[in-house]
Structure 1
Amino acid sequence: MDWQEFLTGESGRHELSMEQTQTLLALFSRERVPLNQTELSLTLSISEPTVKQRMGEIYRKFSASFPELDNHQGAGKSRILHTKLKQKYYQPSQPVVAPYPEEFISLIEEKIRRFCGRQFVFDTFQQFITDNPHGYFTIVGDAGMGKSSIVAKYVWEHQSPCYFNILVERRNRPELFLKSIRRQLIDRYQLPKSEDADLPTLLAQVAGKLTAGDRLVIAIDALDEVEQEPGGNLLHLPKNLPNNVYFLLTRRPYSFDKKQLLVDVPVKELDLRDKEYVDFNQDDIKEYIRYALNTDLEYKDKLRNWIQSRSISETIFVEQLTNKSQDNFMYLRYVLPAIAKGDYKDLSLTQLPDGLQEYYQNHWVRMEIDAKPGQLMEIVLYILLEIGTPIPCEMIAGIAEKGECHVAQILENKWVEYLKKQEVDGEICYTIYHASFLDFLKTKREMDSNRRIFQEVNQRIAEYLEEGMT
C-alpha cells in the first residue's frame, strides 16, 4: 500500500468528506514535508479561509486518534498530524489491512474516489437500525443512480463484511457469495470449525460474540444480477435473523412476480426514484458536478476552460447538466471526463446528450459503428460481450485474428472508459465496466440479431476455444 492509498484509508476511517479527503491528500502529497496554507490554496484552487476551515475539521476528526492535535495551540498541527500518520504508516507490527476481500478492494476504492452526497440514504438506514432489532434494508434504483457507490462508501467507512454481485465477471452465484462471506466472518470473529457452516449458523455464531451496542451489518450489492436456480430467496438469504444482525442490500427495480426476498423480520425499501427523494438526488448530482469543477485535480481545469470558452456561468452549467443527467451519476461519470478530454469541443451545452442511454447512443454514432460495420472496434466490443468474463488482450486478438498491438489500441483508446482492467493470474484482463452499458449492447444485439457480425464473432470464439483444447 503506497502513501496516498494509506491516507485515503485513514480518511475513510476518520469519516472525512470528499473535499476534506482531497485536502488531506494534497496537504501530504509531498511525503516528507506538508504543504503550507498558501501552497494548499493554490493547489486546490480554493481560498485560504476555505483551506483553514477544512483543516480545522480534519484536525477535529483526527483528534480522536491523536489527542495531541487538541492539546496543541497555534500553528504546527499539520506537522503533528503528518508525524503521527507517518509513524502509523511505517509501523511494521501493525500493518494496515483492509477489512474486506481483496477481490473487491479496487472496486470499492474506485467507487468512493469521487463520492458525493447520499447522506439521506445513510441517515434512513441508520434510523432503520435504531428502530429495529434486526432486518433487511434494500436500496432500489435504476442503473447508474449510485447504488454500488453507496454500498462501497458504507463498507469503507464502517468496515462491514460485503459482497458485490458482478454479472460481467460471473461473480454472481450463491455459492460464491457464501464462500466469500463465510471467510470474512470466520476471519473477523474467529469462528472455529466453521469452514462448512451455512449462513444462518454463521450469523448465529457471530451474534453470540457481539458485545453490548455492537451490530453486524452485511452489505450486498446488485441482487438483480444474481443468477441461481428458481426457488428460495436470492443468494439463499435466511428468512430469520438473530438480533443485532442486519443486511444492507441494493437492486434495480423488478416486477412483483420476479425474484423476491421473503423474510420474517423487519424490512424496508428506499427507492431512489420516489418523489420524496427528488430534491435530495438533484442536490447530490449538483454537488458531484461542483466537485468536478472546483476540486477534482484531474478534470477541473479542462472543464472550466470548456465552460469559459462558451461564456457559461458555473450556475447555469450545474443546473443544465443536472437536468440532462436525469439523476444519473453514471451519466456524469462518462460525460464530465468526455468534456474534459475534448470529445464535445464542437458542441454547446444544450447539444450534450440527454440521459445515459442517449449518451451511449451518441458515443456509438461518433464511433461510426453502424456506418462501418465489421471494423475491429466493433469486433472487439462484441467479443467482450459474448465472452462475458475477464479476458486478456492476447485472447481477444487471437479471436479477432488481428495483431495484439492493434487490439490493445482499441482497448486503451476507443473503449477504455467502458472497460474494467484487472489482473487475473498475472495477466491484465478486460471486461465491460457497467451493467447499464451491457444492457445497451444487448439491445443492439437484439435489434441486429441477424447481422453477420454476431455470427462471425461467435464462430471465431468457438474456433479459438476449440483450437485451445486440441
Structure 2
Amino acid sequence: MGCKTMIVEILSLFASAGFGVVGSECHKWALRKAGERNHDIEKALLTAHERILNDICGCCQKTPEIIARIDQIKQDGQQILIIVEGEQPQGSEGSWKGSELKAIQTKLMQRLEAEHQWLREAPPVLLNTFRNLYLPGLVHYFRLEIKYNQVVFNTLTHDILTDISGKVGNIDQELQQIRGRIDEGVDTFIASCQGLDERFNQLLTTLKGTAAVPADFAAFIEEKTQEFLGREFVFNAIEEFCRRQANGYFIIEADPGVGKSALLARYVQQTGCLAYFNILSENRTSTEDFLKNICEQLITRYGLAYDLPLHPDNTRNGNFLSKLLTEAAAKTDRLVIAVDALDEVDLSTQNSRANVLYLPENLPRGVYFILTKRPELLPLVVSAPQQEFDMMSDKYYQANLEDIRRFIRYRCQREPIQRWLTAQGVTEAEFIEFLAENSESNFMYLKYILDDIEKGRYADLNLANLPKGLEQYYEQHWRRMGMVTRPLPRTKLKIIYLLSKTCKPVSCDLLADFAEEDPLTVQEVLEDWEQFLRHRIVEDNEVYSIYHKSFQDFLFKRRTVQKAGISLRDIEQAIVDNLWAGLYGSDEN
C-alpha cells in the first residue's frame, strides 16, 4: 500500500489528539490500522489529498510557478503519498510527548523531501505552500472524512476503544467526546503552522474549521448521511463547475430514491455551505419559508447589518435575497447555497411567472447554487451559467454501480445478512452482483431490502424472489401486509392514506380520532409500517409522517388506489372536516 507510512503518521496524530493516549500506544494502533490495508481508510486519505490540492489550485491561480509544481503533483497522482515503507519513525515510539503534533508535521515533511527531489529543490514560496497548506489541509480534510464517514470512523475507533475499555465507561458517550477532541487537536496542529505567505492566510482560516450545518436541518442531515458512501463523481463535478465558472447553478437530477437528499446533506457536512431542504413530510415546501430561512442564514453567517426576525415584506419576492447575496459575496471568495428537492416546492405559494423559490436570474461573482430535483420541468429561467447533471445518464452508470456495490458490500459484513446468505447457499459476491442489478441504482430500494433481510422478513424467500426495483418492492410489501386481501383492511388503509395526505407530522391520538379507532389499534398499525415512516418527538409529542415521497407516489398511483377501494376525495374531505384545527390551527382561510 503506497500511502501506508503516511497513514501511520496521520493516524498517530488523530489518536493522540482525539483519544489522549500515550505516544507509544498511538503509534502501535496506527501501525495496526495501516497494516489492515483497509480500502475505506486509504480512500479517505486520497479524498483528503485531492480536496486540498483543489483548494490550493483555486487559491493560487496568479502564481504560475506554484501551479506548475502542483500540476506535477497531480500528474504523479497517488505517488505524492508514496512514502518509504517499512521504516520506523526516527527516535523512540514515545518521543512525541508534548510536541508530538509539531513532530508529526516535521516527520511528514522530511519523508516527502527525501522521496521527491523536486520538493528539496523547490523555492521558498512553494515550500511554504506545501508545508503550511498541503500538510495541514490534508489533515483537516481527513478529519472531515473521519467525522462524517461513519464507516471510516467506526473502523478507526471501535477497536482502540476496546483496547482501552478499562478506562471507558460508556462507549457511545466516549465516541462523541472523541469527535470534539479530534477537532481541538487538529485545530491546534493547524494553528501551529507559521511563516505562511500572506496570500494564503484566507485559505488557512478556512482550513481551521468548517461551519456547522444549518441548525434547522441538523437532525435531517444527520439522518440522511448515516452509512453514506461514495458519490465522489458528483462532488468532483460540483467542484469542477465552481472552479470553471465565476458563478452559476449546478442542478443535480435523479430518480426518486437514488440518494439526492443524502448526497446534498453530505455535501453540506463537508463544506459547511448554507442549505435549505424542502421536506414534504414536514410541510416545509413554501417559498416564504425558504426565503426566510436562507436570508437569516446569510445575515448571520456574513454579519450583514439587518435585524432579525425579518420583516414579512422581505420574503414576498426574491428582491431581498438578491440584495443579501450581493452584500455577502463581497465578503467571501465563494458563497455556496445548497437547495434540495425543488420538485417538492409548493408552487402555489409564489407568483406563477417567477422562478421556483424566486431564485435570482443573475448571480454575483462567486455565488453558486447547488440544486437537486427529479427529472421534471420546473420554472427556472436564468442568465447565470448553469449545468444540469443527470445522475441517471449512461455516462455515470459504472460510477453509480460501484457505489451500489460498495454499499451492499458494507452491509454484508453484518451477522444477520451473513446468516441469511449461508442459509440461501449464496456467496457474498453473487449476492452483491444480483442485488446491485435488481436495485436499478436505487439506494432507497437497498435500504428497505437489506433492512428486511436483517429483520428476518425474507427468511421464506430465496434470492430469485426478491423484488426488482423500488416500485416492485412497494407492491410486494403492500401485498405482504395484506392490503389487497378481502375484506379490505379499512382501518390500515385509512390511516396510511391519511398520513400521506396531511403533509405534516401527526400524533397517534390524532390519527385515532380520525379513524375512530382505539389508539392502541392505531399504534399497532404504525408499528407495522414503521420502515416507511419518520418518527420523531415534537414538543413532547410523538408524531409520524411518510418517510419518502416515492412511497406517496406509489400510494397515489391509480391502480393502487383502485385496488385499495379508497376515495382520495373522501380522505381529503375528512382531513378538512375533522383535523384542520388540530393540524393547522384556525387560519384555514
Using the size of structure 1 for normalisation, the TM-score is: 0.79
Q: What displacement does 1:310 show?
A: 1.3
The residue number in structure 2 matching 1:314 is 428
**Match of residue 331 from structure 2:** 209
Q: Give the alignment partner of residue 403 of structure 1, picking from 518, 526, 531.
A: 518
Q: Which residue of 232, 250, 255 corresponds with 1:119?
A: 232
Structure 2 counterpart of 1:428, which letter? Answer: E
Q: Is the 8 A contact 2:536 2:544 kept in 1?
A: yes
Tell me, in whole angstroms, the C-alpha distance in 2 between the residues paired with 1:446 and 1:362: 12
Deviations 1:281-323 (A, max 9, x none): 10111011111112xxxxx110111111112111110000000
Q: Mapping of 1:9-28 within 5 angstroms?
A: none
- Would you say 1:268 and 2:372 are equivalent positions? no
* Residue 436 (structure 2) pairs with residue 341 (structure 1): no
What is the correspondence of 1:419-438 to structure 2 with a 5 Å cutoff?
Answer: 419-438=533-552
For the aligned residue pairs, the C-alpha RMSD in angstroms reads 3.9
Q: In the TM superposition, what is the alpha-carbon distance from 1:247 to its structure 2 partner? A: 0.4
Residue 129 of structure 1: aligned partner: 242
For residues 422-464 of structure 1, what are the alpha-carbon distances to aligned partners after superposition, in whole Å with 9 as ceiling and x for unaligned?
3333322111010100100111577429935656645654453
User: How far has the Cα of 1:168 moved from its partner?
Assistant: 2.7
Match of 1:243 among 365, 371, 375: 365
Deviation of the 1:97 alpha carbon: 11
Q: Which letter does structure 2 place at the counterpart of 1:202? A: L
The answer as to 2:297 corresponding to 1:184 is yes
Residues 246 and 47 (structure 1 numbering): CA distance in 2 closer, same or farther, change over 3 Å? Answer: closer
Which residue in 2 is equivalent to 1:100? 213
Structure 1: distance between partners of 2:477 and 2:286: 32
Given residue 386 of structure 2, which amino acid in structure 1 is its aligned partner? V
Secondary structure of 2:484's aligned partner: coil
Q: Is the Cα contact below 8 Å between 2:276 and 2:338 reproduced in 1?
A: yes
User: How many correspondences in the alignment?
Assistant: 419
- 1:50 counterpart = 2:36: yes
Structure 2 CA distance for aligned equivalents of residues 238 and 333 of structure 1: 37
User: What is the 5 A alignment of 1:260-409?
Assistant: 260-294=379-413, 300-371=414-485, 372-409=487-524
Question: 1:265 is aligned with what amino acid?
Answer: A
Q: Which has the larger radius of gyration?
A: 2
Distance 2:581 2:330 in 1: 54
2:338 is aligned to: 219
Is residue 68 of structure 2 the alignment partner of residue 68 of structure 1? no
Task: Map 1:153-192 onto structure 2 (within 5 A).
Answer: 153-192=266-305
Aligned residue for 1:448, secondary structure, equals helix
Structure 1: how far apart are the matches of 2:285 and 2:343? 10
User: Does the CA contact (< 8 Å) of 2:231 and 2:263 recur in 1?
Assistant: yes
Task: For residue 278 of structure 1, give the secondary structure of its aligned residue in structure 2.
Answer: helix
Aligned counterpart for 2:256 among listed residues 140, 143, 149: 143
Q: 1:322 to 1:422 in 2, by over 3 A?
A: same
CA contact under 8 A between 1:138 and 1:269: conserved in structure 2? yes
Q: Tell whether the 8 Å contact from 2:299 to 2:306 is kept in structure 1 after alignment.
A: no
Q: Flag the 1:107–1:445 CA change in 2: closer, same or farther, 3 A.
A: farther
Q: Distance in 2 between matches of 1:377 and 1:360?
A: 16
Equivalent-residue separation in structure 2 for 1:447 and 1:379 (angstroms): 12
Contact 2:533 2:545 in 1 (8 A): yes
1:396 & 1:153 partners in 2: Cα distance? 34
2:285 aligned counterpart, secondary structure: coil
Give the Cα–Cα distance (whole angstroms) in 1 for the partners of residues 178 and 563 of structure 2.
61
2:557 match: secondary structure: helix
AA aligned to 1:181 is I
CA positional deviation for 1:278? 0.6
Question: How far 1:344 sits from its partner (Å)?
Answer: 0.8
Maintained 8 Å contact 1:400/1:460: no
> Given that residues 211 and 273 in structure 2 are in contact (C-alpha distance below 8 angstroms), is that contact kept between their aligned partners in structure 1?
no
| CA distance 1:173–1:466, shift in 2 (3 Å) | closer
Using the TM superposition, give the Cα deviation of residue 408 of structure 1 relative to its aligned residue in structure 2, in angstroms.
Answer: 1.7
The one-character-per-residue Cα deviations of 1:101-151 (angstroms, maximum 9, x if unpaired) are 333111111111111111011111111011110000000010011111110
Task: Work out whether residues 482 and 489 of structure 2, in 8 Å CA contact, stay in contact via their aligned partners in 1.
Answer: no
CA distance in 2, matches of 1:284, 1:426: 39
Q: Distance in 1 between matches of 2:44 and 2:371?
A: 31
Change (3 A) 1:223 1:457: closer
TM-score, normalised with respect to structure 2 = 0.64
- Tell me the distance in 2 between the aligned counterparts of 1:467 and 1:122: 44
Paired AA for residue 459 in structure 2: K
Residues 378-410 of structure 1, C-alpha deviation per residue, up to 9 Å, x if partnerless?
222011122221111110111111222221222
Task: Give unpaired runs (5+ residues) of structure 1.
Answer: 1-15, 295-299
Report the Cα distance in structure 2 between the residues aligned to 1:97 and 1:120, rounded to whole angstroms: 22
- What residue identity is the alignment partner of 1:260? P
Q: 1:159 to 1:399 in 2, by over 3 A?
A: same
Structure 2 match to 1:12: none
- 8 Å contact 1:148–1:221 — kept in the other structure? yes
Contact (CA 8 Å) 1:374, 1:453: kept in 2 or not? no
Q: Is the 8 A contact 1:286 1:319 kept in 2?
A: yes
The answer for unaligned runs of 5 or more in structure 2 is 1-6, 53-97, 108-159, 165-173, 186-208, 315-319
1:221: Cα distance to partner?
0.5
Structure 2 Cα separation of the partners of residues 441 and 84 of structure 1 = 44
Rounded to whole Å, the distance in 2 between the matches of 1:293 and 1:302 is 9
Question: Taking structure 1 as reference, are residues 448 and 67 closer, same or farther at Cα in structure 2, changes over 3 Å only?
Answer: farther
1:183 Cα offset (Å): 1.2
Contact 1:207 1:242 in 2 (8 A): yes
Sequence identity, in percent?
35
2:238 partner letter: F
Give the partner amino acid of 2:254: G
Q: Tell me the amino acid that sits aligned with residue 331 of structure 1.
A: Y
Determine the structure 2 residue equivalent to 1:231: 353
**3-state DSSP of counterpart to 2:330:** helix
Q: Secondary structure at the match of 1:253?
A: coil
| Conserved 8 A contact 2:484-2:564 | no
